[in-house]
Structure 1
């Protein structure tokens, strides 16, 4: 009887620890500086990046890239893939000219029973190519997005990163921004559950600041509740809109 109660308590405790979901867009490189980096592969998933726990992702509604203000729809080039042992997607893309490319994904709504709401993470990543770096501070016009205030490429581990959270084109005062590392190959151990997801609060202008401790891909997710409700089996449920940005930081190289 005692053992059963212990197991039940552990299950209840674990259920209360809801770790963050992240839409993920991870390019094969964040900076194409050599000709052989022209051809990119982008990994698209919905996962728990620090814990390296995957989730099933249905085909996104839209995948596109914006370069020099020009949008190219890439949805027809989506290919099924596997990320963290779960269904995911990938895109192969060839850079045509120098510039900053903003890749973004609009996924289908995801029902999360544990949170009793729908989730939709509008996710972006940047690739700079062949010496150009203009336009990275421009929004692409998603319903909600993080617009970087720090250049989102060519950053060292340890740098301060800043971004502004927008919803319908307006700054979101006091937005909570969750931060996670893509712990590829389980490189880093997690001391305890509190270290899985970092959290910072944006100021009155929607600006948040985070100091990146080590190199790799880092995701920033600003979560806000949409004003409208979504029907789920005859009941009106909340929609969590996530503005997600992934950017790469590199360790300094020694001679």
Structure 2
């Protein structure tokens, strides 16, 4: 079992604020709707951004992999990936768009394996292996399954219809084993991308004072966070992956998951 920050292994997951993590990098795999009513190609934007702050956009290299899992079957979608320029509030950067063929009922797990990104201010590389979810017909098929990634967050609640005001739980895995004591940065997508203009929109809320919101996995690699608001929420397990070096420099190989929360009507 991979053990990081073992002094925290006995902690239950708790929401904390850490001023040093004021600007959380987050790999997006974004589509406005996750409940798909009709079969067809669903557009997706792949953006490396700070959506809570509506902040700086990072240049994304071409993804190493982009694929979907549906009913346990993997479909490579790299032939749908095309470069775009995404305009943030303060800068523009390289990003990508893709599409997902949604036909049968069930879950569609979208997996993005980005190229490592060099963060000059910290002199490290960051690679955020990201999962997002679509569903057609409300049929559960794949959401609760691990996908065999080097590191990933496996949801313990259905990620496509979390109730705002309830909680979301997940377990962090590295090479299939739970990771205790790992920090989970938590991001609200306050500014959602405009799919047609490839640009940011006006944020709906302001970021939290005191920096990024953080939870810590317990001895079983699990965390729980109360979801206060409807919308898209992202969770990034920092440095949870087995790879720690890239091109002679430190690599933070993170696991990211995006979920969608709704208000009860």
TM-score category of the 2 structures, normalised to the smaller one: 0.7 to 0.9
TM-score scaled to structure 2, two decimals?
A: 0.82
Map Cα deviations across residues 168-224 of structure 1 (whole Å, 9 max, x no partner).
1100011110001111221112353x25x2100000110000001101111000011
Are residues 40 and 166 of structure 1, via their aligned partners in 2, closer, same or farther at CA, if it must alter by over 3 Å? same
1:68 paired with 2:67, answer: no
1:249 paired with 2:261, answer: yes
Are residues 239 and 81 of structure 1, via their aligned partners in 2, closer, same or farther at CA, if it must alter by over 3 Å? same
Paired residues of 2:53 and 2:206 also in contact (CA < 8 A): no
Q: Which runs of 5+ in 2 are unaligned?
A: 1-19, 192-201
Please state which structure has a larger fraction of its residues in helix. Answer: 1
Deviation at 1:28, TM superposition (A): 2.9
Query: What aligned pairs does 1:1-150 form with structure 2 within 5 A after superposition?
Result: 19-32=23-36, 34-35=37-38, 38-53=40-55, 54-83=57-86, 84=88, 85-150=92-157
Paired residues of 1:177 and 1:221 also in contact (CA < 8 A): yes
TM-score scaled to structure 1, two decimals?
A: 0.85
Please identify the structure whose Cα radius of gyration is greater. Answer: 1
Deviation at 1:17, TM superposition (A): 6.3
**What does residue 179 of structure 1 align with?**
186
Corresponding residue pairs, total? 230
Paired residues of 1:28 and 1:40 also in contact (CA < 8 A): no
**What does residue 218 of structure 1 align with?**
233
Map Cα deviations across residues 96-149 of structure 1 (whole Å, 9 max, x no partner).
211101001011111112222111000010111113112211011110000001
Structure 1 vs Structure 2 CA RMSD? 1.7
**What does residue 172 of structure 2 align with?**
165
Matched residues in 2 for 1:190 and 1:120: separation? 23
Equivalent position SS for 1:44 = strand
Matched residues in 1 for 2:171 and 2:93: separation? 32
**What does residue 198 of structure 2 align with?**
none
Paired residues of 2:69 and 2:142 also in contact (CA < 8 A): no
Q: Which runs of 5+ in 1 are unaligned?
A: 1-15
Equivalent position SS for 1:29 = coil
Which of 197, 207, 214 is equivalent to 1:199?
A: 214
Higher relative contact order (CA 8 A, sep 6+): 2
Matched residues in 1 for 2:160 and 2:207: separation? 26
1:230 paired with 2:246, answer: yes
Are residues 155 and 79 of structure 1, via their aligned partners in 2, closer, same or farther at CA, if it must alter by over 3 Å? same
Matched residues in 2 for 1:165 and 1:152: separation? 15
